[in-house]
Amino acid sequence: MAHSFMNKCESGERAIDVAELWAIGKLYGKPMSFFTPDES
């Protein structure tokens, strides 16, 4: 994953779709639930 891609996502210049979020989770060893708020 390119550093420029991550910078744009972090700054809000670019949105992340579900497939990209899944890939980021896989890269960092995190489940999809890690990226979503807990609604309890």
pLDDT value for 2: 84
Our count of domains for the chain comes to 1
Distance separating alpha carbons of residues 14 and 38, to the nearest angstrom: 24
Task: Give the single-character DSSP code of 30.
Answer: -
Tens digits of residue pLDDT in 1-40: 788 988 998 899 999 999 989 998 999 999 999 988 887 6
pLDDT value for 40: 65
Domain that holds residue 30: 5-34
CA dihedral 22, 29, 32, 12 (to 10 degrees): -60
Residue 17 inside a domain? The answer is yes
pLDDT value for 32: 92
pTM of the full structure: 0.64
Residue 40 inside a domain? The answer is no
